[in-house]
Structure 1
Amino acid sequence: MTRSPFGLAPSGTAQAWAALGGDPALLGRVVHKGGGSLPSRLPVMELARTTVAVCSLAAAELSARRGGGPVPSVTVDDGAVTTAFLSDRLVRVNGTAPTTFAPLSRFWRAADGWVRTHANYPHHRARLLDALSLPEDAGVEAAAGAIGERRAVEIEESVYAAGGLAVAMRSGDAWAEHPQGAAVAGRPLLRAERLGDDCPPRAVNGRASLPCSGLRVLDLTRVLAGPVATRTLALLGADVLRIDSPHLPENQDAHNDTGTGKRSTRLDLAAVADRATFEELLTLADVVVTGYRPGALDRFGLSPQALAERRPGLVVARLSAWGRYGPWEGRRGFDSLVQAATGIAATEGEEGRPGTLPAQALDHGTGYLLAAGVLRALTGQHEAGGTRLVEAALTQTAAWLTGGLVKDPVGDPASYDADRWLTERDSPMGRLRHAVPAVGYDGGPADWARPPGRWGTDPPKWVDPTAR
């Protein structure tokens, strides 16, 4: 499928829409315009516009299903898409820029190559230093010395054994030969299935103002893909309540970007009273989105099968870094680490030195894909009921970026101006500047209903629907 600057949906959109099980006839509702700027060797701009396009189309489809009438058209503007993919870097509070990476989150030269670490959270920093046999106050110079004396894979394994995060940089060929890379190969971009048939079709509400109006979403995700997905559901009208453990810290800077439209509370699921509160919330939930490493929430009865038994009719969406298969199934991960492992950093680098994508594109792209999967699952429930499961992984998105997408340099990057796609509003933290939504359709919402609040400070209850 080809297109002009204002033509039909690109082939990448057709690939992603097929992975979502969408009706190919609806692709004609998508048009593209504008110019963006996510320069890279890999087709990052194509990934960005494609994931936003299918999420927008899924929203339009559900809007028509719930509100009646034809599926509205979708216009994807590369300027809005670019800004949305850079939203975590462009957000400001009272003019102050966020801190995106801590000093020990970076590439390091090892004895035989390069290693990428992630130490933004204090507990990850402590585990990294412990694996390197360094004191808790060690800085960049000491870490560089310790890493430089050891092989990259040795660092990778010892840091993970200590509960930290480190990945050896690999070429694309080396990743393809790795057992985890081999496990990823050939798998679909997303996984969607029915968990049960004991739920009748959802009733059609011809008065629904937005695709997710009246729906309640429990958000058990952390930086960055999961919060992007649930932020999108909030844009589309859902009551999204993010739940975090009081024992895990969170960065308010990150929440200023991805907490828009949502509320945020803290519950200790290991405590009897908090667990009872969570179960009460679950009884009224329509969607549960999880983003912790595979298996981490199962002991709380939050596996898809356990949720389906307790709450028939749910849509369960799960996100992971490495996928729920292969030897790395249970490992923690972040966008930057997946870039290093899968050959992306090697492809984007120069003269053997690692490079990075122009945005956290795996996070953002996977977030929009997961949101699209939830929206399509909700549409499926209106047609045939059932409890539904949607799964996405950063490595699957990476495999698509490196092997399934083709660059499509339509539009004029020189015309891109981020300021056009930024807006300001008051928030509890101060004057907030944030990216406007890239997801949309004719007649859809132009902005979120509320700004982000202070992380973890909202009451653990659903909004009274009569107060909306």
Structure 2
Amino acid sequence: MSETTHSADETYDAISGLLACEPALGQDASRRLHLYGCAPVFDSPHKITVAAAASIGAYALGVEQWHHQATGQRQTIAIDWMQAASSLNPGHFQTQSGYALPALSLLTELKADYYRTADGRWFFPIGSYPHLRDGVLDLLQCPNTSAALAESIARWKAEDLEQAFADRKLPGVYSRSPEEWRAHPQGQWLAQRPVIEIEKIADSEPEPARAGERPLDQLRVLDLGHVIAGPVVARSLAEHGADVLRVTSPMIQDPFRQTIDTNIGKRSAFIDLNAPRDAAKARELASGADVVVQSWRPGSMQRHGLGPADVAAIRPGVIYVTVTAFGDGGPWGAWGGFEQLGQTAAGISHSEAVDGRPRVVPPYLLNDYLTGYLGAAGVMLALLRRTREGGSYHVKVSLTRTSMWVQSLGLRAGFDPAQPRRHFAEGLEPVIETRDSAYGVLQQLPPVAQFSRTRARWALPPAPNGAHAPQWLAR
């Protein structure tokens, strides 16, 4: 059996697991979904390409089923292994007017890396926004250089530093082995939750599946997310025609490369939730939405009257998506965090280690895009359930739970961590599409899952933040 054939079998099994609440959908995966091409193999013990294809396949199958219920038409779906593997860090393949873009501002980002602590552990601090960078440097009392961070962190014990970061609401954790994480109270709490958690939070009348020319073109999606995973949930729905309105604060905007990646297919408006009038406007928008997506620290949206229960009260039947770093319960239930902390806490970086030094996966990103695709799958599962029994639903996904799911797929046999690691994109040559935009000519990865009847595509180029009015389009 070839590695690609084996990867396909593993992918269909993983999809069935993700769609366990809709078993017929998962069991139909190998007939409805075609995987083709050659499955790229990363310099990693983890089955990263399988995870990418499975998460994308799961939400694509949900879209296909929704379209079938709305129109009676059936479709097949095709996923190219090359495109799936490249989708874990599409920003790497993105150019603006022919030039590649840095992932984050080289002037403002903290020198994030693994730093040795006084008790021999490895700590990963993150400061990807100025206020977080300044908070970390103030706590550590050092300048923003790798040498200074290493010297300061070396004075701390790992547990003490992790708690000091949490007390100041700063993102940073130390590397644990998979076994340590499974024994940790937060790891135990997360292990009891499904990868895609769907909770019915209120009753309402059933709503039938609706579709026009495209599968999701009758849905409105309010994107309150930031950074990557939350906006990718909404972007995935935009692939199939959903009217997605991204709202963001003018005071805290995402890095530029992320914005032009995650704003594809959306309109974008400014709303400052700290201003009462803007918060009221956001609640008005939520009342007209079918789906609301947010990815801020647990509890943030509730303070603005935009928590899941708040939105379900003003829009019965809403599908509300929450993306968190570590889940919204357990001892870390109020903690915030970013992509690499999920890998670090759950043991991914420990399994990637060389000579005892942890490493993130070769694409650098793993949880952000996978969690976005899994959140989109959760939306489709909740929408399908709503057609049968009605109700408002809270879909929950988390970066760290995603890392645990990747680990559950098992490790690749024969991986040798001592071999020099290739750049993650070596051997990856995905299809790229070109589009005109307000930013000039962009080259970007197209939607991965392609449908036989309704081509997945983004109807809008990425818009600058604040380019549109905060209002819905007429249906």
Q: What TM-score does the superposition give when structure 1 sets the normalisation length?
A: 0.91
2:407 alignment partner in structure 1:
402
Shift of 1:64: 0.9
Over 3 Å counting, the alpha-carbon distance change for 1:22 and 1:300 in structure 2 is farther
1:198 alignment partner in structure 2:
204
1:108 and 2:115 correspond: yes
Q: Distance in 2 between matches of 1:119 and 1:7?
A: 38
Residue-by-residue CA offset, 1:308-356 (whole Å, 9 max, x unaligned)? 1111011111111101221111101111011111111110011101111
1:26 pairs with one of 25, 28, 47: 28
Q: Distance in 2 between matches of 1:361 and 1:142?
A: 28
Q: Distance in 2 between matches of 1:446 and 1:25?
A: 23
Equivalent residue runs for 1:217-296 within 5 Å: 217-296=221-300
2:82 alignment partner in structure 1:
79
1:129 and 2:132 correspond: no
Over 3 Å counting, the alpha-carbon distance change for 1:5 and 1:174 in structure 2 is closer
1:175 and 2:181 correspond: yes
Q: Distance in 2 between matches of 1:336 and 1:107?
A: 10
2:97 alignment partner in structure 1:
94
Give the conservation status (yes or no) of the 8 Å contact 2:430–2:445: no
1:145 alignment partner in structure 2:
151
Give the conservation status (yes or no) of the 8 Å contact 2:283–2:306: no
1:366 alignment partner in structure 2:
371
Shift of 1:10: 2.4
2:459 alignment partner in structure 1:
449
Shift of 1:67: 2.1
Q: Distance in 1 between matches of 2:402 and 2:468?
A: 33
Q: Distance in 2 between matches of 1:449 and 1:65?
A: 23
Deviates more, 1:179-188 or 1:319-328: 179-188
Percent sequence identity is 31
Give the conservation status (yes or no) of the 8 Å contact 2:327–2:398: yes
Q: Which runs of 5 or more residues in structure 2 are unaligned?
A: 415-423
Shift of 1:15: 1.2
- The AA in structure 1 aligned to 2:117 is A
1:438 and 2:448 correspond: yes
Compute the RMSD of aligned alpha carbons. Answer: 2.4
1:45 and 2:49 correspond: yes
Q: Distance in 2 between matches of 1:191 and 1:408?
A: 31
- The AA in structure 2 aligned to 1:65 is Q
Give the conservation status (yes or no) of the 8 Å contact 2:225–2:231: yes
Residue-by-residue CA offset, 1:276-303 (whole Å, 9 max, x unaligned)? 3223212211111111111111111222
1:158 alignment partner in structure 2:
164
Give the conservation status (yes or no) of the 8 Å contact 2:174–2:345: yes
Q: Distance in 2 between matches of 1:418 and 1:172?
A: 29
Give the conservation status (yes or no) of the 8 Å contact 1:47–1:405: no
2:418 alignment partner in structure 1:
none
Shift of 1:164: 1.4
Q: Matched residue pairs, number? A: 455
Q: Distance in 1 between matches of 2:7 and 2:175?
A: 39
Equivalent residue runs for 1:408-419 within 5 Å: 418-419=428-429
Shift of 1:110: 2.1
Q: Distance in 2 between matches of 1:289 and 1:424?
A: 28
1:331 alignment partner in structure 2:
335
Q: Distance in 2 between matches of 1:213 and 1:67?
A: 13
Q: Distance in 2 between matches of 1:75 and 1:46?
A: 15
Over 3 Å counting, the alpha-carbon distance change for 1:146 and 1:343 in structure 2 is same
Residue-by-residue CA offset, 1:40-90 (whole Å, 9 max, x unaligned)? 1011111111111111111111111122223x1222210111122220222
Over 3 Å counting, the alpha-carbon distance change for 1:307 and 1:38 in structure 2 is farther
Q: Distance in 1 between matches of 2:26 and 2:170?
A: 43
Q: Distance in 1 between matches of 2:441 and 2:340?
A: 30
Q: Distance in 2 between matches of 1:19 and 1:44?
A: 24
Give the conservation status (yes or no) of the 8 Å contact 2:371–2:402: yes
- Please give the secondary structure, in 1, of the residue aligned with 2:250: coil
Over 3 Å counting, the alpha-carbon distance change for 1:45 and 1:408 in structure 2 is farther
1:383 alignment partner in structure 2:
388
Q: What TM-score does the superposition give when structure 2 sets the normalisation length?
A: 0.90
- Please give the secondary structure, in 2, of the residue aligned with 1:85: coil
1:462 alignment partner in structure 2:
472
Shift of 1:416: 8.8
Shift of 1:118: 1.1
Shift of 1:358: 2.3
